[in-house]
Structure 1
């Protein structure tokens, strides 16, 4: 989809469809105590108002949130009035959702659409523009790689018309460019998560990341296979890979901005990249094994944030560690009751081989801590318990540094994404202790499973590194309540929150 700007104009550039906003105002009916609603369209041109009022059915239009009304001008150009309800109650997320629904309604009918942008501003003009572009590009996403017959949308061009002076072009274009860069990274991550597991093996996943970063300035990549992981003593990671026909892969990415000073922050990411999870010997039931290709969404999430920030040239140093393997079953696979020594020297009693993500993450977190970042953030589809605690709409947040967690919560709010902090209490740390090893990989009961997993991970944070853990098990896929996310498949959520965090670092 081509996004264009048309500034310093009162005309419409769209050849097929013009989109204008309308608001709803509650007023007292004359001579009555009863309230009624009126349509607010004072920002329309005289031509639009006259054409609208000339249609008898227009009197029934109330401009409630999401209510659309179509009519035609004398030259045949169609107009869509997009109702936004009470302007005081409007926010960027509502605009984002309404443009997503609008895209779905018109994308197969019109090729060239123009948006009367000045009527869709809430707060900052740049933020409003960015929200709309984000919405359109995220909603336009589809994963059709394996469809014999692909259905391509008719909509090719969207132009934002504005009376704003041409001097605003630079900052407006910057908003469009940022939204395009971030949504491109989101859609790249969605593609990775949606790939079937017989295609996206750990080795293939690593190759794709390596190829993708080749064109990004300031980024370097190295990949560690089984031989290198053995040298690093990453035995927990290798224990998960033991039953696989494919080597484990640790992808180590670094980004160095153009200007590095003593004040330049170093942010490290770690992502769980389980390209498929059978549960190992603690085998999942058949129904629970479906969609386990999504178990690498944590790694795709942090990579997408890293990618977007690097492409934007943000002035922050970044490291991204992606731990990739599948959890399969063969005669070499790790058995329940096994005890394995981690990279940091602690021994772990593996009571459940389906609690494998935390084993991969443990060694990767220890490896990342050696780099002594200013902040370390990991992302993983780690626990089904997170869905019980927070549903499928909220990302779980835990960690060892309140300031870092507060910054992430603020960034999630800025991005209009749901994130909630969960406590990690001393009793749960105690519950992760084993009688015959330093640690065990599951707690003594199923209660508090999400935070107990975080308590386990915290055992591998060293060098006083500020650390935050994001459990995206609920939000990583199938967000049907958000019109700009696929109802089934990878969501790409949390990426915008992480990019906002990096921008403010």
Structure 2
């Protein structure tokens, strides 16, 4: 599907379908006998559209309410789809994303060439932001993972043209918005593909191989991969303990992006992702029902990689280190047993009481490694705890860390991109709860309450040099976000990538 701009448009360019907006204006009842009325606001329509619309007897039933649609035909054989948006003052970018996701689902198999009367959908004077939000929606909604289906997903829609009366002097700004939407959503959809891959295909070594091949086309990016021998040299005992039951080598993928105009004042952000390509729970074996969908346990690594990839393609002026800790958590005679004591890269000993609390072990060594890259801030993402769903539900990303300013900036970016993020406290008592009587730390708390924050408290023990650090627990939002029409009902969501890209852009 190709998205195009048509500026200085004097008429609609859609060859089969034209999409226009309509708003609703309500007047209050005055006097005892008068009733409130609802008027359809269509003053921005072409005269031809108004004439054809009014000629339809059923058009009198259309009130332009939010979510209400109406089709009618033009004399030349084209159709017009009217999108009710309710009161114009209530128009929001996220509602436009949802609206256009539903539009795509309604038209993608029926039309090949359509146009959108962009000016009628613009929120205030934010034409570039509106265009970007709509384009994001279309690109994200058009995603499907049908690689292993005999019957592939078929769509007819080939071209969507955004017609606007804006002068061609606005082309640079609007083209940039369209390009950013395409770049970011392409990265999100690539990450969705990775997360959706079955675990018998996306082994740890296959995962690192794909990342290495994908970054080869990016400017300013370097890649190195550390295998088992290199991790042993790095003394990453915690990471290796998770991999010890696997038939496949662990992989630490270390990516760096350096912008073309980097100076000594250029900010340096490290992104760290949990990449458990499958998690059985190890000897602390998950029940069968809980083991299904554990291919999604590498969504944190896919999330940070997607943000890294988009930032590099956009040429953002921020240096980025991206660390992906990749392995599976399997069971054999070499697998780590509960009650084992293992040393991390930073020298701290950890009593491993539950081998299903493995993601924090991988992240711990990766965070210590990231600190040695001397970044200005570290952000990690992981499907870390089921407890975050208990605390925040399946729609909100949990945020924890050691620096309020960093967390506030992430929350601001989440709000700017209409994604949900909520800060959870990490208190001293949680740190006390993960102290062991026979090692420096234990990998689970003494109590199951506050599990997400206690996991974050554990991770904080491996962040050194007073580096600002934020932890994103995406266990609730990494997959199956069916309440958002631009996300698949089942499968990888790709959420929080847009938040991270916005954060990096403003760094």
Question: Matches of 1:26 and 1:503 in 2, distance apart?
Answer: 41
1:328-387 CA deviation, whole Å, 9 max, x = no partner? 000000000000000000000000000000000000000000111001000000000000
Question: Matches of 2:47 and 2:180 in 1, distance apart?
Answer: 35
Instruction: Report the counterpart of residue 313 of structure 1 in structure 2.
Output: 315
Instruction: Report the counterpart of residue 99 of structure 2 in structure 1.
Output: 98
**What SS does the corresponding residue of 1:161 show, helix, strand or coil?**
strand
Query: Which range moved further: 22-31 or 490-499?
Result: 22-31
Equivalent residues in 2 for 1:439-478 (5 A)? 439-478=441-480
- Is this contact kept in 1: 2:17–2:79, CA < 8 A? yes
Task: Give 1:33 deviation, angstroms.
Answer: 4.9
Instruction: Report the counterpart of residue 243 of structure 2 in structure 1.
Output: 241
Instruction: Report the counterpart of residue 345 of structure 1 in structure 2.
Output: 347
Equivalent residues in 2 for 1:11-22 (5 A)? 11-22=11-22
- Is this contact kept in 1: 2:223–2:256, CA < 8 A? yes
- Is this contact kept in 1: 2:53–2:59, CA < 8 A? yes
1:227-264 CA deviation, whole Å, 9 max, x = no partner? 00000000000000000000000000000000111221
Equivalent residues in 2 for 1:76-155 (5 A)? 76-123=77-124, 124-155=126-157
**What SS does the corresponding residue of 1:183 show, helix, strand or coil?**
helix
Instruction: Report the counterpart of residue 156 of structure 1 in structure 2.
Output: 158
Instruction: Report the counterpart of residue 66 of structure 1 in structure 2.
Output: 67
Query: Which runs of 5 or more structure 2 residues have no equivalent in the other structure?
Result: none
How many residues are matched? 505
Equivalent residues in 2 for 1:367-382 (5 A)? 367-382=369-384
In the alignment, structure 1 residue 186 sits paired with structure 2 residue 198: no
Equivalent residues in 2 for 1:287-436 (5 A)? 287-436=289-438
Task: Give 1:34 deviation, angstroms.
Answer: 3.3
Instruction: Report the counterpart of residue 230 of structure 1 in structure 2.
Output: 232
- Write out the 4+ residue segments of structure 1 that deviate beyond 6 Å after TM superposition: none
Task: Give 1:151 deviation, angstroms.
Answer: 2.3
**2:203 aligned to which of 198, 201, 206:** 201
Task: Give 1:35 deviation, angstroms.
Answer: 1.9
Question: Matches of 1:272 and 1:30 in 2, distance apart?
Answer: 62
**What SS does the corresponding residue of 1:408 show, helix, strand or coil?**
helix
**1:286 aligned to which of 282, 285, 288:** 288
Question: Matches of 2:472 and 2:342 in 1, distance apart?
Answer: 25
Question: Matches of 1:98 and 1:69 in 2, distance apart?
Answer: 14
Query: Which runs of 5 or more structure 1 residues have no equivalent in the other structure?
Result: none
**What SS does the corresponding residue of 1:460 show, helix, strand or coil?**
coil
Question: Matches of 2:15 and 2:29 in 1, distance apart?
Answer: 40
Question: Matches of 2:99 and 2:207 in 1, distance apart?
Answer: 35
Query: Which range moved further: 184-193 or 145-154?
Result: 145-154
Task: Give 1:448 deviation, angstroms.
Answer: 0.2
**1:168 aligned to which of 167, 170, 175:** 170
Question: Matches of 2:307 and 2:252 in 1, distance apart?
Answer: 18
Instruction: Report the counterpart of residue 26 of structure 1 in structure 2.
Output: 26
Question: Matches of 2:9 and 2:254 in 1, distance apart?
Answer: 49
**What SS does the corresponding residue of 1:93 show, helix, strand or coil?**
helix
Task: Give 1:126 deviation, angstroms.
Answer: 0.4
1:89-119 CA deviation, whole Å, 9 max, x = no partner? 1100000100000100110100001000000
Question: Matches of 1:381 and 1:334 in 2, distance apart?
Answer: 21
Question: Matches of 1:491 and 1:209 in 2, distance apart?
Answer: 19
**1:484 aligned to which of 468, 483, 486:** 486
* Length-normalised TM-score, structure 2: 0.99
Instruction: Report the counterpart of residue 497 of structure 1 in structure 2.
Output: 499
Task: Give 1:66 deviation, angstroms.
Answer: 1.3
Question: Matches of 1:448 and 1:395 in 2, distance apart?
Answer: 15
**What SS does the corresponding residue of 1:184 show, helix, strand or coil?**
helix
Question: Matches of 1:422 and 1:476 in 2, distance apart?
Answer: 18
Question: Matches of 1:455 and 1:283 in 2, distance apart?
Answer: 24
Question: Matches of 2:481 and 2:434 in 1, distance apart?
Answer: 32
Question: Matches of 1:4 and 1:273 in 2, distance apart?
Answer: 36
Question: Matches of 1:151 and 1:135 in 2, distance apart?
Answer: 18
